[in-house]
Structures are given as C-alpha cells and as structure tokens.
Amino acid sequence: MPRYKIIIEYDGTPFAGWQIQANGPSVQGELARAIEALSGVHMVPRGAGRTDAGVHARGQVAHFDLGRAYPAKTMCDALNFHLRPAPIAILDCEIVDESFDARFSAKARHYLYRIVNRRARLALDRDRAWQVVVPLDAAAMNEAARHLIGRHDFTTFRSSQCQGKSPLRTLDRLDVARDGEDIFIAASARSFLHHQVRSMAGSLKLVGEGKWRPEDMRRALEACDRAACGPVAPACGLYFMKVDYGESA
C-alpha cells in the first residue's frame, strides 16, 4: 500500500483549524474530501502539526496511505483539482517509505509570525498579518528573544488548554527582524506547545512598545506562570513555514 507525502499551502482564514472538528470546516477535512473524490476511499491525512483557526501554512506536511498506486504528479494535480474552491494548494507530492510519519518523523518545525507596523489600515494584508499601529523597536524585540532560546520550561508561553505532557521544549531559533513596515519573528524547534509562538510574539510586542524591557522576557519565562505572559498575538499573523525530516524523507 503506497504512502503519499504531500506539502500543503493554505489560507487558514475560513477554517476552524487543521484538524477535523464539529464546529466548522477544517483543512484536514477538505483534504480527506479531495482524496475520497479521487480514489473513492475515505482517508484522513495525518499532518505534521495542528494549526489553529486562522493560522496559515506555506509548508505543512501530511501523509496518507491508499490501496491504489498513482504517480506522484497525478496525485498532486488531482488533489489540487478536487480541492477547488478551498484556499488550499498541494505544492508537492511523493511516494515515501511506509516508515515515514509526517508528525513523528519530523526533526524540526519552522514558523514565521508577521507584524505590519503602520497606522494605515490593512487592505491587501487583512487576515494575513497582525497590524500594530504603535512604533515598535525590532532591535529590542530581538534582544528579548535571545532570552528564550534553548531548553526551558515554557509554561508561561503555553495555552491553558495545551495537551502536551511536558512544558519543557528546546527552542532552536527565535529571531526578530524588520523589513520596512514588516516585522518578522522566525521560530524553529522540534516541537512547540499550544499557542507558544503566538504567546512569545505577543510578549515581544510589549518589548517593542517599550512596556517591557528585553530582560523582562527572561523574568516572564522563569515565572513559569501563564499570568506572566503578554497578550497572545492573533492567529492571522502566524505561518507554518516548513518541516525538516531526515535525508530519507
């Protein structure tokens, strides 16, 4: 039975999230519908990560098995056809070894959070970024981000609804950079806690405003208390960018 690995781009705005759920359409559900339209088999793909409602993806990865073998290009084109008009695109498809698992084979996940720092309302980027009208100091935000890199107890930056067994995570990268009116927060780790990136982004925004000093980020982390976190940044600015696997995947 062939196993297919797909790379997916989607606009998360109309979805209740990646995972199939009762309260609205999901990316996973749309993919399952497209697979069934092609093959006649109901097959729910397994994703590398569960994105929340409104979160976007440029490189989400999923896998699924089918009894019939299709050429990878045929699978890619057919899924894109059946996914219309949903704002989901299959960027690539390949047949992989049955040991590959989109979630458990992942070595690193990469997210990008985008802030547009300007007073004029967003026209083209509405629902694609967090607009902050107060001037932000991206250099101070980047200095603050240094305090979170490494292996820590991230309870402060963890949703109260998080189902992770442990708050311990190793954050490999957290960089803040400005490009004109855009401020990008890039985060990389093997795995993240629920709302971790958005929680960190919301706290970094307080540093950018001057309400927190860069070293206050360390104090918030060491508090291991959700109450020490800044407001959680909105979902619209978050992008699931890429997943790294071993050479065989």
| Cβ–Cβ < 8 Å for 137, 208 | yes
Q: Using CA atoms, how far apart are residues 21 and 35, in angstroms rounded to an integer?
A: 18
Residue whose tokens read 């219309």: 84
Hey, is 115 helix, strand or coil? strand
Q: Is 52 a catalytic residue?
A: yes
Among candidate residues 52, 137, 172, 244, the one labeled active-site is 52
Hey, is 112 helix, strand or coil? strand
Separation of first and last alpha carbons in the chain? 17
Q: Using CA atoms, how far apart are residues 109 and 249, in angstroms rounded to an integer?
A: 14
Q: Which residues are catalytic?
A: 52
